[in-house]
Chain A
Amino acid sequence: MIPEIGQFALALALMIAVVQSILPILGAAHGNLLWMRSARASSVAQFVFIGIAFLALMRSFIVSDFTVVNVVENSHSLKPMLYKVAGTWGSHEGSLLLWVLILATFGAGVALLGSNIPDALKARTLSVQAWISTGFLSFLILTSNPFERVFPPPLDGNDLNPLLQDVGLAMHPPLLYFGYVGFSIVFSFAVAALIEGRVDAAWARWVRPWTLAAWMSLTAGIALGSWWAYYELGWGGWWFWDPVENVSFMPWLLGTALLHSAIVTEKRDAFKSWTILLAILTFSLSLLGTFIVRSGLLTSVHAFAVDPERGLYILGLLGVSIGGSLGLYAWRAPAMEGGGLFAPISREAGLLVNNLLLGAATGTVLFGTLYPLFMEAVVGTKISVGPPFFNAAFIPMMLPLVVVMGFGPFLSWKRADLKGIFQRLRFVAVLAGLSGLAVWYLTEGGPVLAYLSVAIAVWLLLATLREWTTRIRLFEVPFGDAMRRARNMPRSSHGMTLAHAGLAVAMLGFIGSSAWKSEEIVFVQPGAEIAIAGFDVRFDGVERVQGPNYVADRGTLTVTRDEEPVTILFPERRFYPVAQSSTTESAIRSTLAGDLYASLAEPASEDTAASGAWTLRILYEPLVNFIWIGAAMLVLGGGLSLSDRRLRVGVPRRAITPAAQATPAE
C-alpha cells in the first residue's frame, strides 16, 4: 500500500508542476495577481507530494519491502539500518527522486521565505523552476519509476554494496545534490530576469541568499565526498580528478564566480549580463553532471548506446534547458544596460580577474572531463585524462587567483589606490616570502612549486587577516572600540574574511599532504618494524574478527616515537559474504600536524596469509586535516554571510522615500 501512495503522490506532483509551469508566468504576463500567487501554493504542494513519495520509498527500504523492484535491486535485509535508509537515494531512481525533492525544496523555500521579492519576478521564477521540475518528474515517472512493483516478491534483496556502507558517503549525495540542484533556483531567477528584461541591484540582492545557500551545501558536499574518499578508499588521497568529482567541482568553480560577480551587480549595477550568463552556465554544468553520472556514460560510451532511453531523455532535457536559456540570453541580454565604469585598478577589476580565472579553470576541468568521452565516442579509443593534466593546467591558474585574492578586499570600488594597498601589505608580503623560505629550510625534497604555494597561501591568510584588522582598526584605536566596530560591521564582511581565510587554510592542507607525503608499502612478517616520518611502526600480526554482516582481517600496529608509545592502529580488510566483495578500513591517527594512515593490502596469496605475512601501506600526510578545517571555514563563512540582515531587506513596510529612512545604520 505504502509504495502505491508514493506513486500516486508523485503523479500529483507532476500535474501540479505542469500547472505551476504555466499559470504563474501567464499571470505575470497578463497582470493577473491571483494566477501569479498560485505559484506559492503550487510550490509548497509540489514539495509536500514529492516529500510524501520520498518518505514512502524510504519506508519501503526501511522495512525491506521486496515487492518494490528498486528495493530488491538496491537493498538487502542484512544491511544495517542506517544504510537501508541511505539506500533510498543510493540507486538511480532514488537519487533522482532526491534530486526533484531538493528542486521542490528550493522552490518552496523561495515561495515561503521570499516575501520581499516582487510578485511578478517571483511568479516567473517559480514557473521556470516548475519547468525544470516537470522535465525531471516526467523523466523519473516515465523512464525510472522508483515504485515499480514485482510479484511474486523475491525473498531477499540483491545488493549490499559494502563500499556504500559509510556514513560519509551516506550523507554525501544529499549534500552534493543540495548544492548542485540549489543552483537551479538561481538559474530560474536568471531566466525570469531575462524574460522580464530587467536586472538590477535589487535582483542581485534577492538572488544572493539562494546562491549562497546552494554554494555552501555544494562546498560541504564536495568536502564530505573527498573526506569519504580519504578514509574509505584506502589510497590515502583526497582528490583524484575523477569525472564524478569533476562534475561536482565545475559548478562549484562557476558558482564561486557567480557569487562574486553578483556582488558587482548588486553594488555597482555592472556585470549584469555576465552574472546572468554565469547563473545559467552554473546550473547547466549541474545538469551536465547529472547527465554524465546518471546516463551511464561514464562506465562506457557503449553501455550508454545499448540502453539509451534514459540517457537520451536526459540529453533532451539538457538540450532544451541549456539551449533554451542560452538562446533567450542571446536574445535578451544585449538589451541590458551596462552599469558604472571602473578603472583597471578597482574592486570591479579584481572581481573580473576572479571571474576570468575561475571561468578558465572551469573550462580546463570541463575539457579534461569530456575529452576522454569524446575520444571514446568518436575515435573509439579509451584514453584517460588524469591528475598530471589537471595539476599542470589547473594549479598555475589558481595561484595567481589566490595572489589577487589577497589584494581584492582592500580594493575600493571604481578606482583604487594601489600604492596605498602595497604599503599596507608590504609587511604581509615579506612574512609570506619568509615563511616559504622557512619551510624550504626546515624540509627537504619538496618541489619548488610547493614552496611558492606555501608562500602564496600564507600571503592570502595574512592579507585577509590584515584587511579585517584594518577594517576594525585594531591596533589603531583602543581595543574596546575596535571590538565595537567589529560588532557593527555587516556580517557578510566577517563571512568573507572567514571564507577567504578558510581557503588559505585548506590550501596549506592541499600543499602539505601532497608535497610532503611519506609513503611506505612493505611486505612484512609479524614483528617487523617500519620507520616513517619519525614514527616507528611495529606490525604485530593479523587476526580474524566477526562483524555484524562481514568478517574482517584486523591488523595490529604499535606506533612509537623516540621509544615513547604513541598509539595502536587497527587497519581492517572486511569481506561481505552477501555482496561477495571486500573493503579496506584504514586506521588513522589524526592530529593537526598530520595523519598517520595505515591500511592492509590484499595478502599476496593464501600461503602468505597463513604464514602471517601481509602487505602494509603506511602513509604520513602532513597538514591533511587543514583541508577539512578550511572547508568548514568556507561553509561557516557562507553561513555568516547568509545571516546578514541586509539580505532580508527588501519591500518596505510602507511606501518610502530615501529621506524617510530613519533606521540606524548597522
Chain B
Amino acid sequence: MMLWGIFSALAVAAALFMVLPLFGAKTRIANRQAGSVSILADQLREVDADHERGLISAADAQAARVEIKRRLLALSRLPETKRMDGIKSGRALLVVVALAVPATAGALYASLGSPQMSSMTFADREDERTQRVEITDLTERLLERLKNDPNGGPTEGWMLLAQTYMRMERYSDAAAAIANVTERKDVTSAILSQYAEALIVAEGGIVTPDARTVIARARQMDPANPAASYYEAIALDQAGDGEEAHDLLLARLNGATGSESWVELFVAQANRIGETLGRDVVRPAPIAPMDAAPSSGPTEDDMAAAAEMSQSERDTFIRSMVDRLADRLENTPDDLDGWLRLAGAYQVLGDTQKAQVAYHQAERLAQTLPDDDPRRQTIREALTGLEQ
C-alpha cells in the first residue's frame, strides 16, 4: 500500500515538474544579441585595464578597441532573432505532457518492476541464516550415517539427502547422492528421472550423454513418467531435433486431463520449442473442475491473487491457507509432513504457541520413525528453539 502511495507521490511530482513553466515568473527574455553585446563591452573594458597597467601599448590598445567596436557594429547589423511568443501559447501541450510522463513511465515500470517483492536487508535475515546452518549440519550427519551403513543406506535416505542438496542448489552433490542407488533393485523410474534432473542442472542445463542414458532407462521402466518425457524432450531439442521434441510434449499433453501438476510446465516448454519451429501456440486444456480436495495446494489463481495483494491482505490470505491446512489435519491427524508444514507456517507467522502444539503433534507421530530420520532432529531443534 505504502509503495503505491510513494509511486503516486513520485508521479505527481513528475507531473508538477512538467507544468512548472506555466507558473514561471514573467522574467525578461534573455536574447542572444544582448548577451553578445555585454560580453564585447566587457572585452573593451579589459583592453582599457590592460592598457592602464601597461600590458599593451597605446597603439595596440587602440587597434584592439577598433576591432571590438567593429564586431559590435556587425552585431547590430545581424537580423534580429525570431520574435518570441511569450509564455502564453502552447500551454495545452505542457498539460498533455504532464499527464503522459507518469502514464508512460508507469507502463514502462509495469514491464520491468516487481512491486510485490519487498526489500530484505541482510540484518533482517538472521533466522534464515541459522536455519541454513542447521540444515547443512543435518545433511552432513545424514551423509555420514548413510555412508557408514554396512548395507549401503536405505534408498529413501539417499533420496532425501539428494532432495535436500537440490534445494540447497548443490546439484553435483545431489547427483552423486542418487548415483548410490541407481543400480539397486528397488530403483524406480521416478528416482531415475530425478537423477537425470540433477545431472542436467549440475551441467547448467546441458543434457550430457550420461543424462541421456538415464532418461532412456527411466522411460523404459515407466513410459508414463512425465518427468522422463519432459527431459527426453529437452534432450531431443538440444540434439537439434526440435520437431520430435515438440511432438513428444504435445502427445503427452493430449493424453492429459488438464489437472496434472506438470501440464503448465509442458505447455511452456512446448511453446518455447514451438516458437523456433514456427508452430502454433499450445494452450493448456481447460482445467477440469477439481473436487475441492482439502489437500490441494494454492492454485495458480491463488498465487496470482496473492501477488496483487497488499502486505496485510497477503497476511490474511496466508492465514486462510494455513487455517485450511489445520482443518484438514483435524480429519487426517496421522499426516506427519502435514503437521510439520503447519508448524513451520505458524512459526513464520510468528504464532509460537500454535507452532509448539503442531510440533508436539508431529513429535508424537515421529516416535515410530527410525532414529536417523532427519525429521526427528528437525522437530527436536524446533521445539528447543521455540521453548527458549
Q: How far is the CA of A318 from the CA of B15 in the complex (A)?
A: 31
Q: How far is the CA of A279 from the CA of B270 in the complex (A)?
A: 55
Residue of B38, B54, B91 touching A650 (CB-CB under 8 A): B38
CB distance from A279 to the nearest CB of B (A): 18
A568 proximal to B (CB < 8 A): no
B52 proximal to A (CB < 8 A): yes
B2 proximal to A (CB < 8 A): yes
> Which A105-128 residues have a C-beta within 8 angstroms of B?
115-121
Q: Are B113 and A8 in contact (CB under 8 A)?
A: yes
Q: List 15 A-B contacts (CB under 8 A).
A: A7-B112, A8-B105, A8-B113, A15-B105, A31-B82, A34-B87, A38-B97, A64-B122, A118-B31, A119-B31, A153-B120, A155-B128, A200-B36, A471-B55, A666-B49
Q: Are A141 and B108 in contact (CB under 8 A)?
A: yes
Question: In the complex, which residues of chain B have a beta carbon less than 8 angstroms from the beta carbon of A34?
Answer: 21-22, 85-91, 94
Q: Are B48 and A665 in contact (CB under 8 A)?
A: yes
Question: In the complex, which residues of chain B have a beta carbon less than 8 angstroms from the beta carbon of A464?
Answer: none
Question: Contacts A31-B84, A37-B87, A121-B32; is A651 near B38 (CB within 8 Å)?
Answer: yes
A440 proximal to B (CB < 8 A): no
Question: Contacts A7-B112, A650-B35; is A63 near B83 (CB within 8 Å)?
Answer: no
Residue of B39, B52, B86, B106 touching A649 (CB-CB under 8 A): B39
Q: Are A4 and B10 in contact (CB under 8 A)?
A: no
Question: Contacts A49-B10, A117-B30; is A4 near B117 (CB within 8 Å)?
Answer: yes
A65 proximal to B (CB < 8 A): yes
Q: Are B2 and A1 in contact (CB under 8 A)?
A: yes
Question: In the complex, which residues of chain A have a beta carbon less than 8 angstroms from the beta carbon of B34?
Answer: 118, 651-652, 655-656
In chain B, what residue has the closest Cβ to A38? B21
Question: Contacts A31-B82, A656-B41; is A118 near B132 (CB within 8 Å)?
Answer: no
Q: Are A45 and B113 in contact (CB under 8 A)?
A: no
In chain B, what residue has the closest Cβ to A24? B21
B14 proximal to A (CB < 8 A): yes
Question: In the complex, which residues of chain B have a beta carbon less than 8 angstroms from the beta carbon of A650?
Answer: 35, 38-39
In chain A, what residue has the closest Cβ to B60? A412
CB distance from B114 to the nearest CB of A (A): 5
Report A38-49 CB contacts with B as 1/0, cut-off 8 Å: 101110110011
Q: Are B119 and A2 in contact (CB under 8 A)?
A: yes
Q: Are A16 and B18 in contact (CB under 8 A)?
A: yes
Q: How far is the CA of A441 from the CA of B375 in the complex (A)?
A: 86
CB distance from A78 to the nearest CB of B (A): 10
Q: How far is the CA of A651 from the CA of B29 in the complex (A)?
A: 10
Q: Are B109 and A7 in contact (CB under 8 A)?
A: yes
In chain B, what residue has the closest Cβ to A138? B108
Question: Contacts A52-B10, A65-B120; is A656 near B56 (CB within 8 Å)?
Answer: no
Q: How far is the CA of A454 from the CA of B85 in the complex (A)?
A: 62
Report A139-151 CB contacts with B as 1/0, cut-off 8 Å: 0010001010101
Q: Are A11 and B105 in contact (CB under 8 A)?
A: yes
Q: Are A5 and B36 in contact (CB under 8 A)?
A: no
CB distance from A633 to the nearest CB of B (A): 24
B287 proximal to A (CB < 8 A): no
Report A614-634 CB contacts with B as 1/0, cut-off 8 Å: 000000000000000000000
In chain A, what residue has the closest Cβ to B55? A471
Q: Are B10 and A38 in contact (CB under 8 A)?
A: no
Q: Are B105 and A665 in contact (CB under 8 A)?
A: no
The 3 closest A-B pairs by CB, nearest first: A64-B122, A45-B17, A63-B121
Residue of A120, A267, A652 touching B38 (CB-CB under 8 A): A652
Question: In the complex, which residues of chain B have a beta carbon less than 8 angstroms from the beta carbon of A15?
Answer: 14, 100-102, 104-105, 108
How many residues of B sit at the interface, in one of the four size bands? 35 or more
Q: Are B30 and A23 in contact (CB under 8 A)?
A: no
> Which B24-47 residues have a C-beta within 8 angstroms of A?
24, 29-32, 34-46
Q: How far is the CA of A661 from the CA of B49 in the complex (A)?
A: 14
Q: Are B40 and A201 in contact (CB under 8 A)?
A: yes
In chain B, what residue has the closest Cβ to A52? B10
Q: How far is the CA of A49 from the CA of B55 in the complex (A)?
A: 51
Q: How far is the CA of A485 from the CA of B54 in the complex (A)?
A: 11
B292 proximal to A (CB < 8 A): no
Looking at B64-72, B240-248, B293-301, B346-354, the stretch in contact with chain A turns out to be: B64-72
Question: In the complex, which residues of chain A have a beta carbon less than 8 angstroms from the beta carbon of B113?
Answer: 4, 7-8, 147
Q: How far is the CA of A49 from the CA of B102 in the complex (A)?
A: 12
Question: In the complex, which residues of chain A have a beta carbon less than 8 angstroms from the beta carbon of B52?
Answer: 665
Q: Are A45 and B14 in contact (CB under 8 A)?
A: yes
Residue of A1, A12, A33 touching B105 (CB-CB under 8 A): A12
Q: Are A202 and B84 in contact (CB under 8 A)?
A: no
CB distance from B235 to the nearest CB of A (A): 24
A502 proximal to B (CB < 8 A): no
Q: Are A65 and B122 in contact (CB under 8 A)?
A: yes
Q: Are B17 and A1 in contact (CB under 8 A)?
A: no
Q: Looking at chain B's contact residues, is the secondary structure mostly helix, strand, loop, or mixed?
A: helix
Q: How far is the CA of A151 from the CA of B37 in the complex (A)?
A: 63
Question: In the complex, which residues of chain A have a beta carbon less than 8 angstroms from the beta carbon of B41?
Answer: 656, 658, 661
A19 proximal to B (CB < 8 A): yes
Q: How far is the CA of A405 from the CA of B132 in the complex (A)?
A: 67
B176 proximal to A (CB < 8 A): no
In chain B, what residue has the closest Cβ to A9? B10
Q: How far is the CA of A38 from the CA of B32 in the complex (A)?
A: 19
A340 proximal to B (CB < 8 A): yes
Residue of A4, A33, A473, A658 touching B44 (CB-CB under 8 A): A658
B20 proximal to A (CB < 8 A): yes
Q: Which of B64, B67, B101 has the most CB of A within 10 A?
A: B101
CB distance from B3 to the nearest CB of A (A): 5
Q: How far is the CA of A121 from the CA of B81 in the complex (A)?
A: 12
A3 proximal to B (CB < 8 A): yes
B251 proximal to A (CB < 8 A): no
Question: In the complex, which residues of chain A have a beta carbon less than 8 angstroms from the beta carbon of B123?
Answer: 63-64
A149-B114, A485-B53 known; 6 new pairs, CB 8 Å cut-off, are A12-B102, A38-B97, A66-B122, A120-B32, A201-B71, A488-B53
CB distance from A498 to the nearest CB of B (A): 19
Question: In the complex, which residues of chain B have a beta carbon less than 8 angstroms from the beta carbon of A155?
Answer: 125, 128-129, 132
Question: In the complex, which residues of chain B have a beta carbon less than 8 angstroms from the beta carbon of A412?
Answer: 56, 60
Question: In the complex, which residues of chain A have a beta carbon less than 8 angstroms from the beta carbon of B32?
Answer: 118, 120-121, 198, 202
B262 proximal to A (CB < 8 A): no
CB distance from A413 to the nearest CB of B (A): 7
Q: Are A67 and B108 in contact (CB under 8 A)?
A: no
CB distance from B124 to the nearest CB of A (A): 9
Q: Are B122 and A8 in contact (CB under 8 A)?
A: no
Q: Are B132 and A11 in contact (CB under 8 A)?
A: no
Question: In the complex, which residues of chain A have a beta carbon less than 8 angstroms from the beta carbon of B86?
Answer: 33-34
Q: Are B112 and A141 in contact (CB under 8 A)?
A: yes
B152 proximal to A (CB < 8 A): no
CB distance from A56 to the nearest CB of B (A): 10
Report A646-664 CB contacts with B as 1/0, cut-off 8 Å: 1001111001111001010
Residue of B17, B35, B55, B119 touching A44 (CB-CB under 8 A): B17
Q: How far is the CA of A464 from the CA of B52 in the complex (A)?
A: 22
CB distance from B356 to the nearest CB of A (A): 26
In chain B, what residue has the closest Cβ to A28? B82
Question: Contacts A34-B94, A45-B17; is A67 near B35 (CB within 8 Å)?
Answer: no
Q: How far is the CA of A1 from the CA of B5 in the complex (A)?
A: 11
Q: Are B38 and A649 in contact (CB under 8 A)?
A: yes
Q: Are B35 and A665 in contact (CB under 8 A)?
A: no
Question: In the complex, which residues of chain B have a beta carbon less than 8 angstroms from the beta carbon of A65?
Answer: 119-122
A585 proximal to B (CB < 8 A): no
Q: How far is the CA of A141 from the CA of B109 in the complex (A)?
A: 10
Q: How far is the CA of A156 from the CA of B122 in the complex (A)?
A: 8
A638 proximal to B (CB < 8 A): no
B290 proximal to A (CB < 8 A): no
In chain A, what residue has the closest Cβ to B113? A7
Q: How far is the CA of A19 from the CA of B120 in the complex (A)?
A: 35
Residue of B14, B40, B43, B118 touching A49 (CB-CB under 8 A): B14
B304 proximal to A (CB < 8 A): no
In chain B, what residue has the closest Cβ to A35? B90
> Which A23-80 residues have a C-beta within 8 angstroms of B?
23, 27, 30-35, 37-38, 40-42, 44-45, 48-49, 52, 60, 63-67, 77
Question: In the complex, which residues of chain A have a beta carbon less than 8 angstroms from the beta carbon of B45?
Answer: 661, 663, 665
